[in-house]
Structure 1
Amino acid sequence: MAIPHRQLFIDGKWREPVKKKRIPVVNPATEESIGDIPAATEEDVDIAVDSARRALARNKGKDWASASGAHRAKYLRAIAAKITELKSELAKLEAIDCGKPLEEAAWDMDDVAGCFEYYADIAEGLDAKQKAPVSLPMETFKSHVLKEPIGVVGLITPWNYPLLMATWKVAPALAAGCAAILKPSELASVTCLELAEVCREVGLPPGVLNILTGLGPEAGAPLASHPHVDKIAFTGSTTTGSKIMMAAAQIVKPVTLELGGKSPILVFEDVDLDKAAEWIMFGCFWTNGQICSATSRLVVQESIATELLDRLAKWCKSIKISDPLEEGCRLGPVVSAGQYEKIMELISTARNEGATILCGGVRPQHLKKGYFVEPTIISDVTTSMQIWREEVFGPVLCVKTFSTEDEAIALANDTHYGLAAAVISKDLERCERMTKALEAGIVWVNCSQPCFCQAPWGGKKRSGFGRELGEWGLDNYLSVKQVTQYVSDEPWGWYPRPKL
């Protein structure tokens, strides 16, 4: 299956990159080329930013920013309907582009459509919230608040959920009235280019959404540092997020960062072992383990550790690992050769440092091609080991045991990251204590990884700051303006009137 041949999407039209460069696209399950994508450079970024700024200035008084929320909502609903119509095709493209099992990709497409629908609802509600009154202590003044689009926004997104992560940013940005430039990861851009075609077909006004594929240094960096981009929202590695923050600081540009993670899952001895085992696997192996919020550090009470790990190891061996397009696939390849090599090197380092590979850690014997890694469980780790402290971004779970709640919390919080955490126990009072003690922006109780567009998403510490999704996600793209009016007929009277 080949991918559609696309160009950059700027000002509502397909446009060839200025330097006419393209990037090959490789199917990670077969290691075969399936086409290529355009490679934007700084020159293309300048053109896209100019287009976005014009979208906020066209037909003054009727531009995208000053249009009613209800008007913008019509386009968001049209995009959602088109995504639903193309669900099967988009899921297949995503599966061959990033290795995601087809059933997962189809689920993602439902979430994409749902996210556009949700922000259409939010956009419609914006009109009624304008001029929200502010209570003041002086009757001679009245004050209200306006929420206005922040302007032109740069959106830089990752490859693990290519279209969904883009939608988390695009949908609220458009709902707020911003004009956007989306730069998806060069490792998985195909469905984002199809989003461009969807926007063209539904008649989204020119320049409201521009989509530039390309390499980070050549396209992402110029976008992040562009003086006419009013905000950057980034999801990706902590290292890159730090660079974006430094670039934005040069011109005091606001940023939202959703970065890496090394999330813990705490399992207590009162659990149902089968239920716990499935949530542990789902929390770490979903999306081939390539999730920033993956609960990849298992912190388990020592009294049940042996039995639970035995169940996990047996269950891992039953997971169907195959080409993502095969029916029943539950684990596909990781996204690229570079990612595969990084994962295998981290596993090898753990083994050399004295950890035990309980299962996995190798390429599946029946798959001679593709970037496949068997689901891996590693025990006998220490808290100083690289495998315990660094994000793997692959199907790798490492394990430590605890005896007391205090010890469990200490192990869970001993990390630079703070994106997510999970606790599994039948004791809901204990779960409540753990929820309050865990240093994370997201805490799951008796589950791991569910995500709903109505609830806030984001972390703390080196996992970044700001929140996406829900009304919090919309706030990322709104600027708050205070308007205060003097309403008394009496003079202010601060300065004595001169005698005339």
Structure 2
Amino acid sequence: MKRYQLHIDGQYRAPKSGAWFETQNPFTGETWAEIPRGDEQDVDLAVQAAHRALTTGPWAEMTATQRGALMRKLGDLIAQEATSLAETEVRDNGKLFAEMHGQLNYLPQWFYYYGGLADKIEGSTLPLDKKGYFAFTRHEPVGVVVAITPWNSPLLLLAWKLAPALAAGCTVVVKPSEFTSASTLEFAALFEKAGFPPGVFNVVTGFGAEVGTALVEHPLVAKISFTGSDATGRIINEKAARLLKHTSMELGGKSPNVVFEDADLEQAVFGAISGIFAATGQTCIAGSRLLVQRSIHDEFVKRLLEVARSARMGDPMSADTQVGPVTTPPQFKKVLDYIDVAKKEGATVVLGGKKGTAPECGNGWFVEPTIFTGVRNDMRIAQEEVFGPVLSIISFEDEADALRIANDVRFGLAAAVWTTDIGRAIRMSEKLQAGTVWVNTYRAVSFMAPFGGYKDSGLGRENGIEAVKAFLQTKSVWINTGAVASNPFVMR
């Protein structure tokens, strides 16, 4: 069995506690590796190393152009190791190899993009209203950044935080999910190969109470960037606020996928399937509320079921598999519990609705692709994030009704509209309360496009030029070029 180590100050090392914990393969249910159980001592070592690298090490002396060159080298190394890293992620989180391999092959683009942006961060001169002064601004790294990442796409969602942080000149300590830490620990080896100085990138694995809290509360940490549940995000944000630390939060979603009667129904069916059954529904942008115009409801559901019934569960490493297992035992139970809740609330199961027991599921934590009709928007299944392959179908009358239902939820991460009417597409995109709105597509993301949520779905934005600003702080510099103070007791 493989035993991993923490990565601190450019070296792999055992946890101070001398303790490890097991990680399981969601497809087989078997333990395949041991993950180091970090604690407050390891956190302090990692943060101290990051702080030294930020303030006194070679990283602090590098020009932005030099930092960008290292990032581009890191991107090259990721491309070389994409297959190996994807295989580790599949073994650890059970998502399809096709999905994870695609993510890992795309991952270098984040480091190329932000590596190129590193020396484009510019201050400006200020047109002052006072004579005898010259003033300008400069943008400096916010400090040591803690990145707390989830179990569904560990390295992709790490890159969304890490790449802009490095471009800004920050140093980083990562706490990956205790369920999927292996790929992040393997990823850390690439930093030395790329030539990054020790301490720029550190990984401390373990549990929230032992590692996460210590990282958030460490006095040398300036910013916390978190992706995960809104419940955990609230706790982290409250702790950070008391300590006046910067935060960015990418939290949950309950995204509406809205199909109008004039839509291309074949494409809309594929979009609905992609929105909820891709990644086994374990994505914050899952289109878990399918809003279908009443005039086409029955026809659309019929077409949807024809496609959904053909979805193949099984080994996520197989090219034929379309739906993999749920990643963790607690999440597996949670999804099944929500299915029971929906049945008790009066929703009608038209597909699935139980544990996957087909031979190809083996001993894995599978939930059958599940579709409910007759869902009201006030049901828990329509208001709470399930994070699994469970779709709620809600009918609507017209555009106004669709908007009312779509926005009647506390989340606002993503939404989609299926229509051939360009005017309707624009109107809906303006009025939907979501950080991302897709029209006639779903699950499209890019390193160039800002991503984040409205309402309870989070704070701040990741990706795009806008993301790097979250890792910078602005300094104003005043230079006296000849102004004479007439009264030293009065503000200049």
What TM bracket, shorter-length normalisation? Answer: over 0.9
Cα displacement (A) at 1:260: 0.6
TM-score normalised according to structure 1 size: 0.95
Corresponding residue of 2:320: 328
Is residue 64–residue 178 contact of structure 1 (8 Å, CA) maintained in 2? no
1:86-128 Cα distance to aligned partner (Å, 9 max, x none): 11111111111101100101111022111111111111323xx
- Does 2:268 align with 1:273? no
- Alpha-carbon separation, structure 1, partners of 2:374 and 2:364: 30
Cα displacement (A) at 1:358: 1.1
Is residue 264–residue 418 contact of structure 2 (8 Å, CA) maintained in 1? no
Corresponding residue of 1:99: 94
Cα displacement (A) at 1:171: 1.3
Is residue 416–residue 462 contact of structure 1 (8 Å, CA) maintained in 2? yes
Aligned equivalent of 1:413, options 407, 418, 422: 407
Corresponding residue of 1:23: 21
Aligned equivalent of 1:213, options 202, 205, 210: 205
Cα displacement (A) at 1:495: 6.1
Aligned equivalent of 1:11, options 9, 22, 30: 9
Counterpart residue identity of residue 352, structure 1: K
Gapped runs of 5+ residues in structure 2? Answer: none
- Alpha-carbon separation, structure 2, partners of 1:490 and 1:338: 67
- Alpha-carbon separation, structure 2, partners of 1:25 and 1:491: 68
Q: Which residues of 2 match residues 436-475 of structure 1 at below 5 A?
A: 436-475=430-469
Q: SS at 2:367's partner residue? A: coil
Corresponding residue of 2:308: 316
Is residue 65–residue 149 contact of structure 1 (8 Å, CA) maintained in 2? no
Corresponding residue of 1:89: 84
Aligned equivalent of 1:491, options 459, 469, 484: 484
Cα displacement (A) at 1:486: 2.9
Aligned equivalent of 1:385, options 356, 373, 379: 379
Aligned equivalent of 1:225, options 217, 222, 229: 217
1:14-41 Cα distance to aligned partner (Å, 9 max, x none): 1110101112110000101111111111
- Alpha-carbon separation, structure 1, partners of 2:488 and 2:71: 54
Cα displacement (A) at 1:136: 2.7
Is residue 336–residue 355 contact of structure 2 (8 Å, CA) maintained in 1? no
Cα displacement (A) at 1:449: 1.1
- Alpha-carbon separation, structure 2, partners of 1:369 and 1:466: 40
Q: SS at 2:324's partner residue? A: coil
Number of matched pairs: 488
Is residue 412–residue 457 contact of structure 2 (8 Å, CA) maintained in 1? yes
Q: SS at 1:64's partner residue? A: helix
- Alpha-carbon separation, structure 1, partners of 2:154 and 2:426: 34
Corresponding residue of 2:295: 303
Corresponding residue of 2:139: 147
- Alpha-carbon separation, structure 2, partners of 1:315 and 1:418: 28
TM-score normalised according to structure 2 size: 0.96
Gapped runs of 5+ residues in structure 1? Answer: none
1:305-332 Cα distance to aligned partner (Å, 9 max, x none): 1111111111111112111111222211
Counterpart residue identity of residue 398, structure 1: S
**CA 1:10/1:495 → structure 2, altered by over 3 Å: closer, same or farther?**
closer
- What is the root-mean-square deviation in Å for CA atoms of aligned residues? 1.5
- Alpha-carbon separation, structure 2, partners of 1:250 and 1:272: 50
Corresponding residue of 2:422: 428
Q: SS at 1:220's partner residue? A: helix
- Alpha-carbon separation, structure 2, partners of 1:7 and 1:292: 29
Corresponding residue of 1:54: 52
Is residue 78–residue 104 contact of structure 2 (8 Å, CA) maintained in 1? yes
Corresponding residue of 1:239: 231
Is residue 248–residue 459 contact of structure 2 (8 Å, CA) maintained in 1? yes
1:174-210 Cα distance to aligned partner (Å, 9 max, x none): 1111111000101111110111111122231111111
1:383-433 Cα distance to aligned partner (Å, 9 max, x none): 221111100101111011111111100000001111111111000110111
